[in-house]
């Protein structure tokens, strides 16, 4: 039986997941808890290669079929869980992860309009049925997320460059997932101040740690 704690952060690009994940990991470590901070895709060498293909591949790739996209994310997930996450949880480590199965359900399911039951099935198979104890959903409007991405600068990746309708569908997909599993999700308005969001997150995490 795993003794660690698995926490994921979800939301659209620009919602502030990375900032909150870093703050949470620092808070956990300050409490003396060994913490693994990781992400999908890209948490392993194989995952980094998949990330490069899916998000930053050149024009020579052409259009990536939605099913191929979903399967590549699942391949990254299988390697990531087997190589990093499960071993960490077995050692009693707290895993703080940027994106997981819910991203596949929102992006490839709602965004790419694939059957979400198919996406869930391959994701659960790839992960061996592992689900987080807590999923923090940072909910940002497509407009706010786009403003933040623009402020970051740099070249948009394949998903960031999608049309506003795609990002709206992804956001609705995340909110539908949270409504279906309120016990697992903590939904926060990403437009609120960073420190306020952090306080709400650690309050919820403290409850989990006390169990």
Q: Is 12 annotated as a binding residue?
A: yes
Q: Is 17 annotated as a binding residue?
A: yes
Q: How many CB atoms lie within 10 A of CB 125?
A: 12
Q: Is 13 annotated as a binding residue?
A: yes
Q: How many CB atoms lie within 10 A of CB 104?
A: 25
Is residue 123 within 8 Å of residue 116, measured between CB atoms?
Answer: no
Rg (CA), the chain: 16
d(CA 176, CA 200): 21
Q: Is 14 annotated as a binding residue?
A: yes
Q: Is 30 annotated as a binding residue?
A: no
User: Partners of 138 in the beta sheet?
Assistant: 188
Q: Is 18 annotated as a binding residue?
A: yes
Is residue 7 within 8 Å of residue 136, measured between CB atoms?
Answer: yes
User: Partners of 135 in the beta sheet?
Assistant: 8, 185
**Binding-site residues from annotation:** 11-18
**Binding-site residues from annotation for ATP:** 11-18
């Amino acid at each position: 039986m795993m003794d660690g704690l698995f926490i994921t952060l979800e939301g659209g690009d620009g919602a502030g997941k990375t900032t909150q994940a870093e703050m949470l990991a620092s808070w956990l470590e300050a409490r003396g808890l060994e913490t693994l901070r990781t992400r999908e895709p890209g948490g392993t060498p194989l995952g980094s290669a998949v990330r490069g293909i899916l998000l930053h591949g050149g024009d020579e790739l052409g259009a990536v079929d939605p099913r191929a996209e979903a399967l590549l994310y699942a391949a990254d997930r299988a390697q990531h869980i087997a190589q990093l996450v499960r071993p960490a949880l077995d050692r009693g480590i707290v895993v703080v992860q940027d994106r997981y199965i819910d991203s596949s359900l929102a992006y490839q399911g709602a965004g790419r309009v694939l059957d979400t039951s198919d996406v869930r099935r391959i994701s659960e198979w790839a992960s061996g049925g592992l689900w987080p104890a807590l999923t923090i959903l940072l909910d940002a409007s497509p407009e706010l997320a786009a403003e933040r991405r623009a402020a970051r600068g740099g070249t948009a990746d394949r998903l960031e460059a999608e049309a506003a309708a795609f990002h709206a569908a992804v956001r609705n997909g995340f909110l539908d997932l949270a409504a279906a599993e309120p016990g697992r999700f903590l939904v926060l308005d990403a437009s609120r101040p960073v420190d306020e969001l952090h306080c709400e997150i650690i309050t919820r995490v403290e409850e989990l740690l006390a169990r």
